[in-house]
Amino acid sequence: MKPIRILLADDHAIVRTGLAFLLGTKKDFDIVGEASDGMEAVAMAAKLNPDVVVMDLMMPVLGGAEATEQILKTNPSAKVLILTSFGTESGVAMALKSGAVGALLKSAANTELVDAIHTVAAGGKALSPDIELILQERDATPELSLRQRQMLESITRGLTNEEIALQYGLSVPSVKTHIVKLFAKIGAANRTEAASIALRRHLV
C-alpha cells in the first residue's frame, strides 16, 4: 500500500517540526515537504503533488483559505486539512468553502490528527467536534439588521439604554423595543447572555 504523501504548511517552524516528527513516525505517511506560508504551499503543492495538505489557517503572504483555493485549481485531487489555533467560524467556513475537506484545532489529540488524515485521504470529511459546534452555531444565527448590530455592540460595551438612546438619537422606549427583538432573534435571556453570544459567535 502506497504511503499517504503529506505537505505541511505552517508559518511557525516549531509547529512544522513537531508535525513532521509526529507524522513521520507513521509508516503509511510520507512527509514530502514543508511550507512556511500560503504562497509557498501553493508552489510546493504544484511541484510535489501531495495527497494531503495539512494547512494552517492564519499565515502571512497568503492565508490558508486562499491557498486552499489555489492549490485545488492546479491539483484538484489533493485533500486539504485545516489545522488551526483559531476556531473562528468565518475563517474555517471560508476554508471549507474554498475546498478544504476537514478542520481541526491545534489542541486536538495526536490520534485525532492521524485519524483525520486517514479519513480525508480516503475521500471523507473530518471536522473536530469543537469546530463542528462553532459552524452549527454560525448557521443557527439569523442575520441581524444594522440597528440590531448597533444594539448588540452597545450592549457588549456595557452601555445602558439611556446611553444607547443618546448615541443613536433614539428614545429610550425605542431602544428597549429594539433590544427585546434582538434578544428574541439571538436567543438571549439578558444583556450578559447577549454579550456572551456576541463574542462567542463573533457577531460584533
Which band of pLDDT confidence, cut at 50, 70 and 90, is reported for residue 78? very high
- Can you give the pLDDT at residue 137? 63
- The yes-or-no verdict on residue 133 having pLDDT over 80 is no
Mean pLDDT of 45-51: 97
Report yes or no: 185 and 148 within 8 Å, Cβ to Cβ.
yes
Other CB atoms within a 10 A radius of the CB of residue 102 amount to 25
What is the average pLDDT score of the chain? 90
pLDDT attached to residue 86: 66
Average pLDDT over residues 104-119: 93
What is the C-alpha to C-alpha distance for residues 103 and 57, in angstroms, rounded to an integer? 9
Distance CA 8, CA 55 (A): 6
Q: How far is CA 4 from CA 61, 107, 114, 180, in A?
A: 27, 23, 11, 54
pLDDT for 60 equals 87
Tell me the residue type at 28: D
CB 82 within 8 A of CB 102: yes
pLDDT of 26:
94
Whether 139 has a pLDDT exceeding 70, the answer reads no
Fold of 142-200: Arc Repressor Mutant, subunit A (1.10.10)
- Do 4-138 and 142-200 have matching folds? no
Per CATH, the number for 4-138 is 3.40.50.2300
Q: Which residue has the cell 473530518?
A: 126
Contact criterion met (CB below 8 Å) for 188 and 194: yes
Query: Is 200 a residue whose pLDDT tops 90?
Result: no
- List the single range of 32-36, 125-129, 133-137, 171-175 with lowest mean pLDDT: 133-137
Q: CA-CA distances (angstroms) from residue 77 to 7, 13, 95, 194, 199?
A: 14, 27, 16, 43, 37
Whether residue 90 contacts residue 65, with contact meaning beta carbons closer than 8 Å, is answered with: no
Mean pLDDT of the region 138-165: 87
Question: What are the phi and psi torsion angles at 133 (to 5°)?
Answer: -65, -45
Which of 45-49, 58-62, 116-120, 154-158 is predicted least confidently? 58-62
Percent of the chain with pLDDT over 70: 94
User: Where is 51: in which H helix or E strand?
Assistant: none
Report the pLDDT value the prediction gives residue 88, as an integer from 0 to 100.
55
140: confidence class by pLDDT, cuts 50, 70, 90: low
Per-domain residue ranges of the chain = 4-138, 142-200
Predicted confidence band of residue 89 (pLDDT cuts 50, 70, 90): low
Per-residue model confidence (pLDDT) at position 64: 92
Confidence of residue 199 (pLDDT cuts 50, 70, 90): confident
State how beta strands 29-35 and 126-127 pair.
Answer: unpaired
pTM: 0.68
